[in-house]
Amino acid sequence: MLVALGLASFGVIMVASASIDFAAQVYGDPWYFVKRHLIFLLLAMVCGFLVYSLPVDVWNRSAILLLLVGMGLLVAVLIPGVGKSVNGAQRWFSLGPISVQASEVAKFCFIIFFASFLARRIGEFQTRWSAFFKLIGILGAFVLLLLLEPDFGSAVVLCITAGAMMFMAGVPIIRFILLTLSGVVGLAILAVLSPYRWQRLVTFLDPWADQFSSGYQLVQSLIAFGRGEWLGLGLGNSLQKLFFLPEAHTDFIFAIIAEEFGLLGAVSIVAAFCVLVWRIFLIARAGSDNQRPFIAFSAVGIGVMLAAQAFINMGVASGLLPTKGLTLPFVSAGGSSLIICCCFIALLLRMQVECRTSNAEVEA
Which pLDDT belongs to residue 171? 83
* Residue 363 to residue 289: CA distance in whole angstroms: 14
| Predicted confidence (pLDDT) per residue in 84-117, tens digit | 877 667 888 887 777 788 999 999 999 999 999 9
* Residue 144 to residue 110: CA distance in whole angstroms: 14
* Residue 114 to residue 133: CA distance in whole angstroms: 13
Q: Model's pTM, two decimal places?
A: 0.94
Which pLDDT belongs to residue 363? 61
Which pLDDT belongs to residue 199? 74
Which residues, in sequence order, are bridge partners of residue 92?
Answer: 84, 101
Q: What are the residue ranges in the chain where pLDDT is below 70?
A: 87-88, 359-364
- Please return the burial class of 337, using the count of CB atoms within 10 Å of its CB with bins 0-12, 13-18 and 19+: buried
**What's the half-sphere exposure (Cβ side, CA atoms, 13 Å) at 62?**
14
CA 39 centroid distance within chain: 20
Which pLDDT belongs to residue 279? 96
Which pLDDT belongs to residue 118? 93
Q: Is 239 helix (H, G, I), strand (E, B) or coil?
A: coil
Q: What is the DSSP string of 345-357?
A: HHHHHHHHHHHHH
> Are 338 and 99 within 8 A, CB to CB?
no
> Are 322 and 86 within 8 A, CB to CB?
no
Count Cβ atoms below 10 Å from residue 32 Cβ, excluding itself. Answer: 16
Count Cβ atoms below 10 Å from residue 160 Cβ, excluding itself. Answer: 18
State how many domains the chain has: 1
Q: What is the DSSP string of 294-324?
A: HHHHHHHHHHHHHHHHHHHHHHHHTTSS---
**Domain coverage including residue 240:** 2-363
Q: Produce one character per residue of 180-211: b if its CB has 16 or more CB atoms within 10 Å, e if not.
A: eeebeeebeeeeeeeeebebbeebbeebeeeb
Q: Is 61 helix (H, G, I), strand (E, B) or coil?
A: helix
| Predicted confidence (pLDDT) per residue in 255-293, tens digit | 999 999 999 999 999 999 999 999 999 999 999 999 999
